Structure 1
Amino acid sequence: MLKTYEEKRNNIKDEVLLIGNSVVEALETSLKTLKSDDVSALKEIDLSVKKLSNKSNEIDNLIVTALALYSPEAKDLREMVSFLKITNELIRAASNVKGFIKIFRKAYSDDLNTSTILEFTIPLHKSALLSLRTAMSMIEETNDNHTEEKYGRVMVEDSKADDLYAMVEKNILKLITKNLELSKEYFDVLSSLRRLARTSDRASSIASLALFAQVGGDITQS
């Protein structure tokens, strides 16, 4: 392809990575606050879904322009199509992370069984973070074997996140039956954790798109 296309391609990839890394950083920071049991610090995390959405629209316009001007073929075309879809998945992931941070912080209090909540929340959070971080690293991967290996890792973490959510859901429902007066708070915590699990789902979709861009095949998204 022409050098100008390569420049546009690299610019588009960098912008996609910028959005993804913003979401990963928010997850990293929120995990640290949970590990230190300083949930109030979640309010300090700055993750603007609106700004990221505007950036995503800019990227989509760059992609459409590149497709119109250069008519890329084969792998280059797959990559552009993947980027177009990945930006949407990243905004959904950002919305889920933002929702988790906001709802969890407001619902979490010493009145709840915090030890049980954190027992499952922290490993669930780790899986969501690892799955998204690994999926984003696939965008920069050039080795087919490494891409497939990373895809497998994302699928494992996504499955683990689903299992952990099912476990925490079961335990929180038990806590609700014993503390009906705190049912709203427990349900809100559960709602926030569902958003974490969905973040892992979005990472799975991003990994599928990155795999498609690198090695071809069918696009599979959850």
Structure 2
Amino acid sequence: MRVRFHQSLGDLKEKLLVMAGLAEQSIERAVEAFRTRDLSLCAQIDASEAEINRYEREIDQMALDLLAMEQPMAIDLRFILSVIKINSDVERVGDSAVNIIERVRELQAFAPVDMPVDIPRMASLATDMVRRAIQAFIEGDAEAAQKVLALDDAVDKLNRSAYFSLLNVMREQPHQTLQALNTLVIARSLERVADHATNIAEDVVFWIRGADVRHYVAPAVVDGTGAERV
């Protein structure tokens, strides 16, 4: 019975990895569609979205069946609970790709124009976070997952910079407002991808260590003068 149970856990993990690969590919294709305005890539993402949604339903059902029939304890229970949460975040990464191609389709109505935002750089950082978080999940490596959490600040910084830069475009070049707004939504979607990668990494830490690291704040440190430093 235990052999069969652990085989089921392996099947659950494998299915989630396939789904994660599809979601990561969708983000990469969405950013390429933005860069090249290739609508054929948008169609591919639509097809992948349907497949990702199917995987999400199947994974949730498999996980719930294992919880109901096997009543796992300790680390196996945390693994299944983490899979359920990671499954949701991976599906939302796919949703972010769809949000991006919706904006790409909107931009087709306008002549290409350079915006003061490094979308490829944001995408590279966000997808790297997803890749690292999933690799930490594959290897059951809480330390690697913990390192992913520190990467989110760089994407947040780029997103804030994009907001202010595009706000200036809208003020100074109002005829480009719609292009700027669409680009802003794309930047925001990539920032959300990084957030989902952070969630996945947190769930890996929970699975392996049983520790909840959400909303972690570094403790204050008291220096030699008795003053607190954060």
Fold shared, TM-score > 0.5 on shorter chain? yes
Residue 111 of structure 1, CA deviation: 4.3
Distance 1:177 1:40 in 2: 29
Alpha carbons of structure 1 residues 203 and 30: separation in structure 2 relative to 1, 3 Å: same
CA distance in 2, matches of 1:2, 1:219: 30
How many residues are matched? 214
- 164, 168, 172: which one aligns with 1:174: 168
Residue 151 of structure 1 is aligned with which of 139, 146, 167?
146
CA contact (8 A) 1:40 1:105 kept: no
Query: What is the letter of the counterpart of residue 46 of structure 1?
Result: I
> Is the 8 Å Cα contact of residues 135 and 206 (structure 1) preserved in structure 2?
yes
Between structure 1 and structure 2, the one with the greater Rg is 2
Poorly superposed stretches of 4+, deviation over 2 Å: 27-34, 39-51, 104-113, 219-222
Structure 2 contact 130–197 (Cα < 8 Å) conserved: yes
Name 1:208's counterpart in structure 2. Answer: 202
Q: Does 1:134 align with 2:165?
A: no
What corresponds to 1:103 in structure 2? 103
Question: TM-score, length-normalised on structure 2?
Answer: 0.83
Deviation at 1:100?
1.4
The aligned residue for residue 68 of structure 1 is: 68
Shift of residue 73, structure 1, vs aligned partner: 1.3
Mapped pair 1:21 → 2:21: yes
Change (3 A) 1:201 1:191: same
Deviations along 1:162-193, one digit per CA (max 9) or x if unpaired, are 10011111111111112112212211210121
Structure 1 length normalisation: TM-score? 0.86
Identity value in percent: 21
Question: Does the 8 Å CA contact 2:29/2:45 hold for their aligned counterparts?
Answer: no
Q: Note the residue ranges of structure 2 that are not aligned, 5 or more in a row.
A: 217-230
Alpha-carbon shift at residue 40 of structure 1 (Å): 2.3
Structure 1 position 157, deviation (Å): 2.5
RMSD between aligned residues:
2.3
